[in-house]
Structure 1
Amino acid sequence: MNGFEKRAALIKDKILKTTLEMLKTLEPSNLRIADIAKTAQVSQVTIYNYFGGKEALIHEVVKNYIDSSISDFQKYMQQDGTVKEKIEKMILQDKEAYHTLSPFLINQLLTEDKELAEYVQKETNEKIIPSMIKLIEDGKENGEISEKVTTQAFLVFINFCLKHYQELVEMVNQENNTDLIESMHHIFFYGICGKEE
């Protein structure tokens, strides 16, 4: 990469990061190229030259965010650790993601952007699900997951938990009850009748 290409890559990255930060507090419909340009300290023409328009810019921001999240997920799934540690890390990542781009916003964007929705589905099928299946198989092999738990049931259950985790976070914030998350984690790992060993 020559000097010009490096500079162009830095400017593009700055625009993407600025847009991501702004999406934390603004609806996409309220986001304006002029405001992004001002915050990123670039010209509006530069943004149009790199991305073509607001919709394409938001598409690129969300795609990069998803790529980064999946990459982080794959890294910690490949590290040494117990099934419990990996699931706790997965839940923590979901909680952190909630404060970056809310699941409601991502769902809205995926509904409006079919190409992005297809990309997310492809990445999930090719990267996330195989990692989850390996986690289950390893857990069964070392006795952390009961043989009674099927792969399909585990995937359905953990997907359900992750989809509704943002609701739990909102409840904790509203009621100022941090014990609720601990209690939900206990139910997840040990069931309502199980005891920690």
Structure 2
Amino acid sequence: MDGFEKRREQKKKDIMDAALALFIKSGIQKVSISEIAGKAKVSQVTIYNYFESKDKLVRVVFKFYVDRIWQEQKHLLESDLPFNEKLEKITFGKGFQADQISEKFFQDFMKDYASGQSYVEELYMKEALPLILQLFEEGRTQGDVDPAVSDEAILFYLQMFQEYLQREGVAQAVLPIAEDLTKLFFYGIAGKSGE
């Protein structure tokens, strides 16, 4: 990659970073191209040259956001940490910072997720699901997951969460209690088992 291409890619990344920060803070509809341009220190024309429209920029930024979170989670899932530490870091780590995301951005994100053609859904099926199943197998091996609970039951439980989150209007209810729901998902209403 020559110097021109490197500068071009850096500008695109700066625009995506700026757009993501503004979208997270205010939601997609409230953010203008001129605000993104100001934050990225580029002209509006540059944004249109790279992304053609705000809608295309939004799609690229969603993918950029999901990829960034997934790379952190994937690195953790593939690490040598014990099951309990992986689970705790994945569940309560910095990947999904619900308290730092505007409710409007979360609604926009979940609307994309509910579309049925979401990049999140595709990534989950192709990459995340096999690693999640591997994680729970590690948990069984280490004595932290009940071996009597089948992969099918775990997947069914994950599917219930997934389908509910795809319903319209759920985002408003979920965002303030995201951490509680994650705890319930992994530990049930009795809290951590075996302690």
TMscore range, shorter length: 0.7 to 0.9
Find the structure with the greater CA-based Rg.
Answer: 1
Residue equivalent to 1:99: 100
Give ranges in structure 1 of 5+ residues lacking alignment: 173-179
Instruction: Specify whether residues 190 and 82 from structure 1 end up closer, same or farther in structure 2 by C-alpha distance, changes over 3 A only.
Output: farther
Give distance in 1, aligned partners of 2:68 and 2:52: 23
| TM-score of the pair, normalised by structure 1 | 0.77
CA distance 1:190–1:60, change in 2 (3 Å): closer
Q: Structure 1's 193 and 111: CA in aligned 2 closer, same or farther, altered over 3 A?
A: closer
Alignment CA distance shift 1:2-1:55 (3 Å): same
Task: Please give the residue correspondences for 1:112-123 in structure 2 after superposition, counting only pairs within 5 Å.
Answer: 117=118, 119-123=119-123
CA contact (8 A) 1:132 1:155 kept: no
AA matched with 2:87: I
Rate the CA distance shift 1:145–1:81 in 2: closer, same or farther, 3 A. same
Q: Equivalent residue for 1:128?
A: 128
Task: Indicate the structure whose relative CO is greater, using CA pairs within 8 Å and at least 6 residues apart.
Answer: 2
- 1:108 Cα offset (Å): 2.0
Name the structure 1 match of 2:3: 3
Tell me if structure 1 keeps the 8 A contact 2:110–2:171. no
Amino acid at match of 1:96: Q
Describe the SS at the equivalent of 2:147: coil
* Percent identity for Structure 1 against Structure 2: 27
TM alignment of 1:63-82, pairs within 5 A: 63-82=63-82
What are the within-5 Å matches in structure 2 for residues 1-197 of structure 1? 1-93=1-93, 95-96=96-97, 99-100=100-101, 103-111=106-114, 117=118, 119-157=119-157, 160=161, 170=176, 185=183, 188-189=186-187, 192=190, 196-197=194-195
Between stretches 53-62 and 134-143, larger displacement belongs to 134-143
Q: What is the rounded CA distance, in whole Å, between the counterparts of 1:56 and 1:123 in structure 2?
A: 19
What secondary structure, in the 3-state scheme, does the structure 2 residue paired with 1:25 have?
A: helix
Q: CA deviation at 1:136?
A: 1.5
Give the 3-state SS of the residue equivalent to 2:129 in structure 1: helix
- 20-29 or 85-94: bigger deviation: 85-94
Question: How far apart are the structure 1 equivalents of 2:133 and 2:57?
Answer: 34
How many Å separate the matches in 2 of 1:76 and 1:130?
14
Number of corresponding residues? 186
Cα pair distance change 1:105/1:99, threshold 3 Å: farther
Deviates further, 52-61 or 31-40? 31-40
Scaled by the length of structure 2, what TM-score is found? Answer: 0.78
Coordinate RMSD, CA, aligned: 3.3
1:171 shift after superposition:
5.2
For residues 18 and 36 of structure 2, the distance between their equivalents in structure 1, rounded to whole angstroms, comes to: 7
Q: Would the alpha carbon gap of residues 47 and 129 (structure 1) be closer, same or farther in structure 2, given more than 3 Å must change?
A: same
